[in-house]
Structure formats: structure tokens, C-alpha cells
Amino acid sequence: MTDTSFTYSQQLMGTTVSLQLLTENLQAVAAVFNTIKALETRLTVNRDHSEVMSVNHAAGKHPVIVSDLVFDLITQAKQASLLPNSNFNFAIGPLVKLWKIGFSGHTVPAADAIAEKLSLSNPSLIELNKHDKSVYLPKAGMEIDLGAIAKGYIADIIKLVLAQYDIHQAIINCGGNVLTIGCSPFTIDKHWHIGLKKPFADASSLLGIIEVQDKSVVTSGIYERYFMQNNQLYHHIINPATGYPLDNELESITVISDNSLTGDIYSTILYGLGSQKGLEELNRRRHIGAIFVTKDKNIILKSNQHFQFTLLDNSYQVCSKN
């Protein structure tokens, strides 16, 4: 087994993006980070000029033609938003901007302001024309937000970029989105070891270790971006039906899947469903594994033929639902 690796990181997409390779290949590294920068420029809503913001600026006025790549991602985001009982909603931009969770100026909005933004957050209203690759938001004030899906999409594209350089063993970490490529040379069983963070603890505190091979590991939790007001916690995972942060028994959900885009979508969907309904959903989607972490310190493993989990924090209790 080799014990040599090369790790490169940059601040991109509002987080630290790191790339771990087994051999030094600066040309591949440059291609990876240049690709991420180019994609972020197209997809972000945190800059005034991007393809997505061009669509948002034209809301209520006219359709906007976008690139094939952006149209493909928007199409997949709409499909995920229209799944039955989906808490994924790519039209949730007006509510995200209203709450400002994770940004300066966050506060609990007035109920009438939330109701107004809810009326602008219906994903079924967004019109996609596959012939000219145009996107139309029919109401002024509507906004697409691809923040819940962009990291996974980009991670999957980076895997393709690395393949062009004949790199088939690596780890891409996009801050909560970890994509392992191939098998690990560092362990006897060839599994990559990914740490599962302990909610509301420092970054080095782990609940356990997830062992995977050639899988995506995506975690979404209420401890990632939140604020406290009047002893109430308000986190960034918004319920598209109410306009308020989702409130259930979960602190985090981790999805193990073949690609990172699926992980992004289902981490949001499963968090919104909660553990019981989430387990029922996973019975219909056996290609996805999940780890539910509850507020009462239970860790529920589902479909763990896709992964192995080792508990490190004995204040939590593990149960398997296979």
C-alpha cells in the first residue's frame, strides 16, 4: 500500500475545495480548479453576473437562453423539485434571500413577507424550452437558486475531468460533498475513510468514520448555517411549503450514492421527510444509502451495503435498518 498523496485546495463556491491525488499532476490540478471557477461563474447567485442571475434578472419579462450545461442542471433541478413530497426546491431563491441565513443581516422575517416570497417560489411555474435552451420565470421577483445542487454537479464533472488525465483514484471534497474515485491504496480493504462530523461541535470532532469505495458522501445538517433568536435555532434548510426552516427530529442526514448530484438532491429530500418517512423512501431507492443523526443522539443506518460505519462517539447509539 502506498502512503503518498498530494493534496491541493482553494477557496471556491463559498467553501474550501480540496483535491487529493496519488501522483503529482499539476496540469490536472490546474484543469480541475479552472473548471470549478468557470462553472461557479455560470451557476452562482452570489454574484450579479452569471447565467443563473441573467435568468433571475429577466423574471416576469422574457425567457433567457442559457448554455447546454446550465440548462441541463436547471432541468434536473426542476425534476427533483417536482418529485412527490419533495423538499428540494430550486425556485426557493426569494426565501433564501429573505432569511439571509449564513449571511450578515439574518433575522426572522415577518409572516406577511414570508407569504409573499412563498408565492414566488413555485417550481412548477418555471418554463423550460428544450428546443432553444431557454428558461423563463413568469413572475417578477422569482429567482432560481442552485446552491443545493451545484456542488454535487460540479464534483461529478471534476471526476470526468480527472478521467481525461487518466486519474481514477482520488478524493474531491467540496465542503460537505465528498466524492471518492476508485479504491483507496491506503487501507487493506481498499475503502476510503470519510469522517462524519459531530453536530454543533468543533470541526475536528467526529461521530464516526464512513468507509466507501467509488461513492459520493454528501452531508446536510442544521449545524452548517444557522442563527439563534429568542432561544430558537433557525437553520438554512427551508421548508418550501411553509417558508420557515424545516423542524423535525434530525440534526443531519448523510447520503451515500454513486454520484454527488444524487447525494445533493436526496440529502435535502430525506432531511425534509424525517427519519421514518425517509427510511420508507429509501426502501424504494435501494441504490442509495443513508445515515440519519437525530437530536436525541441516535444514528440510523440504512442500506449500508453501500458503506461501512464505525462509531467514535459513545454518547450516540447506532441502529441499522436494513
Assign 175 a pLDDT band (cuts: 50, 70, 90). confident
Same domain, 199 and 280: yes
Domain end call among 69, 103, 136: 136
- Kindly report the CATH number assigned to the domain that includes residue 60: 1.10.3980.10
Contact present, 126 and 59 (Cβ < 8 Å): no
Same domain, 197 and 132: no
Q: Is the pLDDT score of 104 beyond 70?
A: yes
Cell numbers given for 128? 423550460
Residues 226-270 have pLDDT tens digits of 999 999 999 999 999 999 999 999 999 999 999 999 999 999 999
254 belongs to a structural domain: yes
Q: Is the pLDDT score of 1 beyond 60?
A: no
Q: Which domain holds residue 97?
A: 51-136
Q: Is the pLDDT score of 24 beyond 90?
A: yes
Same domain, 125 and 213: no
Over residues 206-214, mean pLDDT? 97
Q: How far apart are the first and last CA of the chain?
A: 32
The pLDDT assigned to 3 comes to 66
303 belongs to a structural domain: yes
The pLDDT assigned to 53 comes to 95
150 belongs to a structural domain: no
Residues 53-85 have pLDDT tens digits of 999 999 999 999 999 999 999 999 999 999 988
Residues 133-161 have pLDDT tens digits of 999 999 999 999 998 899 999 999 999 99
185 belongs to a structural domain: no
34 belongs to a structural domain: no
Q: β-strands 308-311, 298-302: how paired?
A: unpaired
Domain end call among 98, 117, 136: 136
The pLDDT assigned to 292 comes to 97
- What is the Cα 315 distance to its own chain's centre? 27
| Cα–Cα distance measured from residue 14 to residue 155, given in angstroms and rounded to the nearest whole number | 15
Number of domains comprising the chain: 2
Coil vs helix vs strand at 51: helix
Same domain, 217 and 311: yes
Same domain, 308 and 208: yes
- What is the Cα 313 distance to its own chain's centre? 25
Longest dimension (CA), the chain: 61
Q: Is the pLDDT score of 46 beyond 90?
A: no
Same domain, 217 and 302: yes
Domain end call among 118, 136, 154: 136
Whole-angstrom Cα Rg for the chain: 20
Q: Report which of residues 321 and 130 the model is more confident about.
A: 130
39 belongs to a structural domain: no
Q: Is the pLDDT score of 103 beyond 90?
A: no
2 belongs to a structural domain: no
Same domain, 110 and 198: no
Same domain, 207 and 131: no
Q: How far is CA 291 from CA 25, 138, 220, 279, 301, in A?
A: 34, 38, 11, 10, 5
Query: How much is the mean pLDDT over the chain?
Result: 94
265 belongs to a structural domain: yes
